[in-house]
Chain A
Amino acid sequence: MSTNKRITLQQAAEIIKDGSSLTFSGFTIWRRPMAIIFELIRQRRKGLHLIEVNGGSQTEFLVGAGCVDIWESCWVGHELYGKYGANLSRKVANKEIIVEDYSHAEMMFRFAAAAQGAPYAVTQTSLGSDIHNPEYDMLGRAGLRDGKRIAAHKYQFTEDPFFGAGSQVLIPAARVDIAVLCVQQVGEEGTVRVNGQYYSDPEVARAAAITIVMAEEIVPEEYLRRNADQNTIASFEVNHILECPFGAHPTGMFGRYDVDGAFLKDFYSRTRTQEGFDDFANEWIYGQDHISYLEKLGWPRMLGLKANTALNYSPRISKGGK
């Protein structure tokens, strides 16, 4: 049994190569592995193929920095703090990125299929929509459907052969090179305990060839094994671990800290243009490391985000509302 899964933030980013396919833990603006995202941007990674159940702030940072060639997903934005993905939108208009649109349930079921080792999933969602318009198979149009790294078809229709239930959509398994997770606790041997909604973390961890877990804290493995029923991902499904407190900031983490809405609003409003993005990245990413980033944020700001341990979020009332 390997107990030497610990790596550094820099090493975690180095595992992700130019051209890797990549996915993440979390949901829109919650539990995204932002510290690794920032490190990837510092290391000037190129040609990434993001396959995400849903996008969010992590997508916008990577896309804005020019790290991403292909984005397969269903949604991007910053929820209440930025109504759409301005960086993705700009790169789509300039044809600097390939976007393959699926529905949210399709993306989830694609990862569930990959996590089961199945080549595809079957669903009845989104029938009649332009998601299934054959003209809008963007990876096909780009000639990238090699049937190996990228599925030979975006989807296929079939008739239910078992119960005569009519049209079914087959969607390819979302096989990815690397999943990067950001969670509350991981054990020395890799056992993961997620508190709160676990979103699609168990499926993406299992779907990936390599799974990296960045945690608020690395805890003794035996502590997690005392209550195995509360654990989310088994030790051997995780290849590498690292400890990085506040590694999800500016996204939020159940029980630890809330979303930094002011930070996301600032990012959204300042990064409509490439110049604006570069300016923001020069301020917050380039020339920084995780500790200097936290120093720049400062204790008062972080204390304001800190979750109440009984409520698992930061109550708004005590801070005078919005």
Chain B
Amino acid sequence: MTVYAKPEEFGLADLLCCAASREVADNEIVFAGTGLPMVAIMLAQKTHAPNLKLIFEAGTLDGRPPEIPTSVGDARCEMGASRSSGLNDAFSIAQRGYVDLGYLGGAEVDQYGNVNTTCIGDYLEPELRLTGSGGNPDINSFAKRTVFIMVHEQRRFVENVSYITSPGWRVKKWPGGEFVHRRELYGAAYHGGPSAVISTAGVFRFDSDSGLMYLDTCHPGKTPEEIRGMCQFDLDISRVKGETELPTREDLRIIHDVLDPNEIFIPKVRQG
């Protein structure tokens, strides 16, 4: 029987982790990045999706790490894996179309799900240079679905990102840079695109025709109007289904007792 945790028993990171975990179905092939997504996938592996196949970008295929790796290059990744290889394998497999789902992050996201991890401000005169793309655009190009996990601030949810690192639903067609629907540009290489953004305020999805983001569920304590006010674009709140599903007590036990006991990625909420 599913027993949901009480609001005082979990933190925002727990809620995000569980919401992300629920995006994956059993038997799917999942591309995992460092951090909270890794905890989310391993939570799914230990709950509703025991047969999911985990690929780490650095070269681990069908990994079953005994403890949370600190990054995808970590020696922990390949313990119990089907195969330990390299990036040429991991990206070839992804481009070949094997990947169902990828978890990604970003500094900015726009109304079409375009994500920026490269720079804040004008690329040629940046206010702040960030990490750069990493595998973000690759996984977002190759996977059937991608899920973005992000901090929700108004400055991060913008009408158009200052630099499209990772392509969403309406993207730039070069050399002119006019916006076209992703399907038009990708042709036979079209596998899908961003399916959800899980922010610290709610869960967002995309209209398949317009490519526009809409609010799907609100995290506890947030109203649709409040969340719309946290975006620089006119967020569609007409399709809200209600509140984001809460973590169960079993989810919390697995996260804190099994996966991340040292609180490397997810701090434990202590009551009283």
Contacts and interface: CB of A to CB of B under 8 A. Distances in A.
A104 B133 contact: yes
B86 interface: yes
Nearest to B167: A128
B223 interface: no
Contacts of B35: 80
Interface stretch (A13-21, A86-94, A173-181): A86-94
B71 interface: yes
B75 A101 contact: no
Interface string A76-89: 11011001110011
B132 A73 contact: yes
Interface string A238-282: 000000000000001011001101000000000000000000000
Contacts of A27: 58, 72-73, 87
Interface string B52-83: 00001111100000010011111111110000
A33 interface: no
Q: Which of A127, A199, A313 counts the most chain B CB atoms within 10 A? A: A127
Given A29-B71, A196-B78, A131 B137 contact: yes
A263 B263 CA distance: 20
Interface of B: 34-35, 56-60, 67, 70-79, 84-88, 91, 94-95, 118, 123-124, 126, 128-138, 141-142, 163-167, 171-175, 177, 180, 182, 185-189, 261-264
A79 B70 contact: yes
Given A30-B74, A313-B76, A124 B189 contact: yes
11 contacts: A74-B133, A79-B70, A85-B129, A104-B91, A128-B180, A130-B123, A130-B164, A130-B165, A132-B174, A160-B188, A313-B75
B164 A128 contact: yes
Interface string A190-205: 0000001111111100
A79 B137 contact: no
Interface in A191-235: 196-203
A77 B70 CA distance: 14
Interface of A: 26-30, 53-55, 73-77, 79-80, 83-85, 88-89, 92-93, 99, 101-106, 108-109, 112, 123-136, 157, 160, 163-167, 196-203, 252, 254-255, 258-259, 261, 307, 311-313, 316, 321-322
Contacts of A83: 131
A26 to B, nearest CB: 7
B118 A127 contact: no
A141 to B, nearest CB: 9
Contacts of B261: 321
Given A124-B95, A126-B137, A163-B188, A322 B263 contact: yes
Contacts of A166: 186-189
